[in-house]
Structure 1
């Protein structure tokens, strides 16, 4: 979650993150760099194979250091460091809801890795946050793990859309030390406000949560190849570019004063690569000041209150926008935003 210089960082992800990181690590200006192994689209994690590893020895992680020859898991970590990573993310497969054996296997394997260098990646299906027993299991199992735990949420749609998920995620974050949230959206700011070490907010939709194995990529409108998502500054939510154009029509310009837009209208964006790239930069320029506000607040209740007030104002802004548009149904505050604002789920 970048903000001021000492907090900046980048997580490379996508189809070939190692190659991208190797080609751009020098441009990171000595900021922290992580490489997302992108192991989530493979078969789901099992007790025998919690990780996606190269080579024929893709299992048996219980004996990581029995031989002098580097194990597949060690090679995975070394390849990230060789491409400029500050620390390493384990290539953990997607963990289906309630698969406690897979979590236990991943935890057992990572205990042999250097806790100052290796981060335990846990791509968890949102169903983990639907069962109090499963949530308690995660908290108990991870409590004594010295490594940073990087949580990612998985679902076919938005994992925060299900009742209770936001509250349960907060509970996990606030109950553990050395925890982070990756592959996320503005939920990363909520996690940071409630004690996470860091958060990695994805530039595009496919990087803002994890798809289950076989879940496919994000849909595109009218079979076009690009979907431009725009972060509405007042509403604190992402919208497709054409949705904003339809809802605002020609009545309002929806001017934005972020460092990228500089007073131009958010309705200018279309579904093409150049507009998507500029919208991505607008999105970062929009949430960056919120991150800086959180980092400027004292950790704990003060930081939580700063975040709660930002979200409460955004909930109220939905009503203001509807009044401006003279359409009471134009915008509805999403469940997660209301929960962040301290309103009933």
Structure 2
């Protein structure tokens, strides 16, 4: 396989870290960018970067527009805001980039109710900046993160890419829907390939501390109650991080249908799990019961997610391999080691 130089945005994030690591293992060159914001514990972000060979004292420096931290010959890191209209275009001008994988975004459904401006800056202005850079730099393919949240509270399961997604119920979901529309416009106008990936509830080692897996584990270990919304009557298509990354890498590196420049794919496990069963798996892995605080439905939340992955299976032979029992066990092992 020909060696590529790939820009990965959000390289210190959960999925971005794994994608960068996999690309390096496959022999490709990675230019990683991340603003390392304080939405959650920055120590975790720096620890992920350390796994990629980038030490904290290097990564935390505010670098100028054309400089970067080099690790050997194949990994570079630049601390940068995605929405920086001077630094990002300059990066494209000063580095020979073949492909772009945009995984940087302000994440979190509930946080979008508290700080909507953060979502406008990163998910809208930032994504437009990426599209403009791809356009002016002749990038042939952009793979970017969308979300299962675009399906809203749809009862038509499993969720298919052809479904109407005009009714998001959180600002986060609305920004992801907007990303898809923006990508469609740029593919149509400027003739480069855009692939949107609708991720379904990603979990696993190195996961974000604001996600259910971390919150539940921490609470159970410390004898604190866990918040169980909608009285537990929720289900999620929990998808293990390595299965997600296999789909990202395939869409990024493998040839695709050249007759269509704009594409969308679900990436999920296609095996929804009830929230209470998910909690039970964590309890068993910890050998400790949870104290459950049963609560009503949370604003912006959806009752169920369920991915139809036929399309990505057909095009890229995508096949999730990790069930929730194994995935939870892997996470708990990592959690105990990382948090001591």
More strand by share: 2
User: TM over 0.5: same fold?
Assistant: no
Q: TM-score w.r.t. structure 1 length? A: 0.30
Give the greater-gyration-radius structure (CA): 1
Give the structure, 1 or 2, with the largest relative contact order (CA under 8 Å, sep 6 or more).
Answer: 2
